[in-house]
Amino acid sequence: MAKVKDLMKTEVATVSPETSVADLIDLLDRAGITGAPVVDADEALVGIVSIRDVLHLAREMGEVPEAMRWGMARSAPPQESGFLDPPVEGEFFAYYVTPGGGFVDVRSRIQEVPDKLFDGYKVSDIMSTDPVMIPPEAEIQDLARLLRERKIHRVLVVDNGHLVGIVTTSDILDHLANS
C-alpha cells in the first residue's frame, strides 16, 4: 500500500509572513502553483496561503466582481456555487464561470487585478494559521479522505513538527494514473 511519502513533493516553495502579497502572486505565477506554506525565520511552519486568499482580499476591496464557480463533482452532477462559498462536494479544481460566461482558472483571474492594489499587504494579513497536515507514513486513502472531508486541494506533510513535503489532489491523480 502506497504512503503519503511515496507521492509527496519534497521541494516546496515557501513564503514568510513578511512576504508582500505582490511577491506572493509573482511566486505563485512563476511556480505554476495555487498556494504555499508560510514559514517563519526559523523555518517553523506558521500557516498556509493560497491564491484564493488573495482573491478574497481583492474581492473585499471591490476589485474582483461577483463570479460563479463551477464545481467539478465526482459523486454528483456539477453544481454552481458562489465564488467564495465553501467548495462544492467532490470539487477538484478552482475554475469558475464569470457573470459574462467566461470559464477561467483562478490563477488567470489574479492577472486582472490592478497593479499596486496590494501595496502594504503582507502574507500575514491573508494566510490561514491552521494548515491541514499529515505525516509521511500515512496511507494514501487517509490522505484522500482528509482532502475530501476538509474540501481542500493540498496538505502539508509534517514529520516531528517540520515541513518535509506537500501533497495535492494532482499528486494523487498522477499516482493513480501511473499505477
Whole-angstrom distance, CA of residue 141 vs CA of residue 87: 20
pTM (predicted TM-score): 0.70
Q: How high does pLDDT run on average in the chain?
A: 77
Q: What angle do CA 11, 113, 156 make, to 5 degrees?
A: 25
Q: Where are the domains of the chain?
A: 4-178
CATH architecture of 4-178: Roll (3.10)
pLDDT higher than 60, residue 86: no
Whole-angstrom distance, CA of residue 24 vs CA of residue 40: 15
Q: Does residue 8 contact residue 165 with C-beta atoms inside 8 Å?
A: yes
Nine-digit cell string for 85:
462559498
| Residue 125: band (very low, low, confident or very high) from pLDDT cuts 50, 70, 90 | very high
Other C-beta atoms lying within 10 Å of the C-beta of residue 94: 22
Whole-angstrom distance, CA of residue 23 vs CA of residue 12: 16
H-helix or E-strand spanning residue 70: strand 68-71
pLDDT higher than 60, residue 71: no
**Greater model confidence, 137 or 43:** 137
Q: Does residue 166 contact residue 155 with C-beta atoms inside 8 Å?
A: yes
pLDDT tens across 101-115, in order?
A: 555 555 555 556 666
pLDDT at residue number 108: 57
